[in-house]
Amino acid sequence: MTYVVKNNKMEIHDLIIIGGGPAGYVAAERAGHKGLKVLLFEKKSMGGVCLNEGCIPTKTLLYSAKTYENALHGDKYGVFGDNIRFDFSKMMARKNKVVRKLVAGVEGKMKMNHVTVIKGEAMIVGRGKEGVEVSCEGNSYKSKNLLICTGSEAFIPPIPGISDSGDIILTNREILDLKEQPSSLVIIGGGVIGMEFASFFNSLGTKVTVVEMLPEILGGLDLEISAMLRDHYAKKGIEFNLNAKVVKVEGNKVIFEKEGKTETIEGDKILVSVGRRAVTAGFGLENLNVELFRGGIKVDEKMRTNVPGVFAAGDVTGFSLLAHTASREGEVVVNNLTGRNDIMRYNAIPGVVYTNPEVAGVGETEESARAKGIKFRIAKLPMAYAGRFVAENEGGSGICKVLVGEKYGEVIGVHMLGNPCSEMIYGACMAIEQEMTIEQLQEVVFPHPTISEILKETIFSF
């Protein structure tokens, strides 16, 4: 079944989606499931940056690295192995296999939910009486509603010399296609993406240097936890240059200013991970007079743009830049289109850094709460309070921190360092979404022995 019509009698779709990333494909899946006639355009590969160049490939590689490290340090657990080694190209090959498998999975979901997927570059023609018109490779398509999920791309800052360094300069995309492990890597930007690659290559023995403009890595996350993670990696050999402003790139040299002094470091490769930019050009957005805001498409709490029938979700809104935010935003659009009133909330969106150990947090940090003038109480415990953590993390450390409102004791923020907090943080998301109080959480039964018990322990220490 296809809706491509070349004659005048044009089929009107309920929803056209441009971009098949976590916002687009999830929205398509939900909308198709609800019976809407959905058409999705994807110019590259289903799954978007997340699946092809982001979340999934990095997690795959990081798991290889973790497995290697575990094997390497098995002696801590009384397990000994000889000649433990890794094969970089096999790691990469496995990553590609995982990505392929999941892309196929997304395509399968589209089929299952009767979503028509067109591989090609969509171009918005305009908006008329019958809705929005989009063209693709000479064909024209109409829809009552349009959802723009064109995502974001790595931002390359205009550092002198950066464009002359050729393939020494990498972004998240190129670094995932490396054929060989670099012996040294300079990472400009110590945010989440930078730190995950730092972690991966550090595990494999690459000499990693992080150059960060701000006073601390992982900007926006809990400051104490960020510092603890940095300490951990500093001990593992990563060199950190904080408050360091890169002024020039010369070949494989990165020249930066730090505390008034100019320093130079060299790397086989240079990863630029200073941030991402919404993709708002190249698909005819200008034909809709859509309002932009901070470089992204401006939307309201129902993800509506200023143009009726036109929605935006995901990185293109330039707001959250997280796959799970994007998916939820896409769902908000579909819910409202299918008669369920729904609004986007950003106060309980978890943030996770898949380093080893992992960092996970949701809600207010001490810093953000203070900045907002929220009165809160705080409790924190070392991860070692959870028996399972001690059993499985020989010599490991971590922390769990809970922030509650001063007066009523409702959970407003939870931040953790220590494996596998990425899998535990959703519990805190639910507590924050539901404005659960200390008393309520204290009545929840946590499975024993699990590391998640650390949350309960921390709650009881209020």
Partner 1 sequence: MATVVILPKQGQSVESCIITEIKKKKGDVVKKGDVLFAYETDKASFEEESPVDGIVLESFYNEGDEVEVLLNMMVIGEPGEDYSGSENIGTENKGADITGADASTIEPTKSTKSTESSPIIQQFNLSEKETPIYRDDSTIQQSFSSPRAKVLAKKEAINITQLSGSGPKGRIIEKDIKAVLENRPKLTSLAKKIVAEEGLQAQGAGSGLAGTTKSTDLVATPMNATYGVDYEDKKLSNMRKLIAKAMHASLQNSAQLTHHLGADARRMLELRKTAKNAFESGKLSTNITLNDMVCFAVIKALKKFPNVNSHFLGDSMRLFNKVHLGLAVDTERGLMVPAVRNADDLSITGLANQLKEVAGSCKKGAIAPELLAADSATFTVSNLGNYGVEMFTPVINLPQSAILGVNTIVPRPKDLGEGVYAFVPYIGLSLTYDHRALDGGEATRFLKQIAIEIETLELDLF
Size of the site for partner 1 (CB under 8 A): 12
Q: By C-beta, is 281 or 445 nearer to partner 1?
A: 445
Does residue 84 touch partner 1 according to CB under 8 A?
A: no
Closest Cα to residue 317, out of 303, 307, 306?
Answer: 303
221-238 core/surface letters (b: 16 or more CB in 10 A; e: else): bbbbbbebbbebbeeeeb
Question: Of 133, 329, 410, 453, which one interacts with partner 1 (CB under 8 A)?
Answer: 410
Q: By C-beta, is 181 or 325 nearer to partner 1?
A: 325
Q: What is the DSSP code string of 85-96?
A: ---HHHHHHHHH
Q: By C-beta, is 340 or 448 nearer to partner 1?
A: 340
Does residue 374 touch partner 1 according to CB under 8 A?
A: no
Q: By C-beta, is 122 or 436 nearer to partner 1?
A: 436
* Cα separation, 341 vs 190, whole angstroms: 39
Number of H helices, E strands in the chain: 13, 24
How near is the Cβ of 334 to partner 1 at its closest, in Å?
15
Residue 147 φ then ψ, to 5°: -120, 120
| Structure token pair of residue 420 | 């596998």
What angle do helix axes 55-72 and 192-203 make, rounded to 10 degrees? 30
How near is the Cβ of 318 to partner 1 at its closest, in Å?
22
Does residue 341 touch partner 1 according to CB under 8 A?
A: yes
Distances (CA, A) of 431 to 409, 428, 444, 457: 12, 5, 11, 15
User: Which residue bears the tokens 């930066």?
Assistant: 256
Q: By C-beta, is 131 or 409 nearer to partner 1?
A: 409
Does residue 427 touch partner 1 according to CB under 8 A?
A: no
Per CB under 8 A, the segment of 78-86, 177-185, 245-253, 428-436 that binds partner 1 is 428-436
Does residue 336 touch partner 1 according to CB under 8 A?
A: no
Does residue 405 touch partner 1 according to CB under 8 A?
A: yes
Per CB under 8 A, the segment of 197-205, 362-370, 394-402, 403-411 that binds partner 1 is 403-411
Does residue 435 touch partner 1 according to CB under 8 A?
A: yes
Distances (CA, A) of 423 to 132, 312, 350, 417: 41, 29, 11, 12
Per CB under 8 A, the segment of 64-72, 302-310, 339-347, 359-367 that binds partner 1 is 339-347
Task: Collapse the DSSP code of 436 into the 3-class scheme (helix H, G, I; strand E, B; otherwise coil) and give the result.
Answer: coil
Positive or negative: CA dihedral 88, 90, 91, 95: positive
Question: Of 153, 257, 366, 433, which one interacts with partner 1 (CB under 8 A)?
Answer: 433
How near is the Cβ of 300 to partner 1 at its closest, in Å?
13
How near is the Cβ of 345 to partner 1 at its closest, in Å?
7
Residue 125 φ then ψ, to 5°: -90, -45
How near is the Cβ of 370 to partner 1 at its closest, in Å?
19
Q: Per CB under 8 A, which of residues 230..259 are in contact with partner 1?
A: none
Q: By the 8 A CB rule, do 50 and 22 touch?
A: yes
Question: Of 79, 84, 93, 343, which one interacts with partner 1 (CB under 8 A)?
Answer: 343
Does residue 83 touch partner 1 according to CB under 8 A?
A: no
Q: Which residues are catalytic?
A: 448
* Cα separation, 414 vs 429, whole angstroms: 8
Q: How far is CA 96 from the centre of its chain?
A: 19
Does residue 440 touch partner 1 according to CB under 8 A?
A: yes
How near is the Cβ of 340 to partner 1 at its closest, in Å?
9
How near is the Cβ of 115 to partner 1 at its closest, in Å?
25
Does residue 434 touch partner 1 according to CB under 8 A?
A: yes
* Cα separation, 22 vs 317, whole angstroms: 13
| Structure token pair of residue 397 | 């450390």
Does residue 345 touch partner 1 according to CB under 8 A?
A: yes
* Cα separation, 378 vs 369, whole angstroms: 11
Does residue 7 touch partner 1 according to CB under 8 A?
A: no
Residues that bind partner 1 (CB under 8 A): 341, 343, 345, 405, 408, 410, 433-437, 440
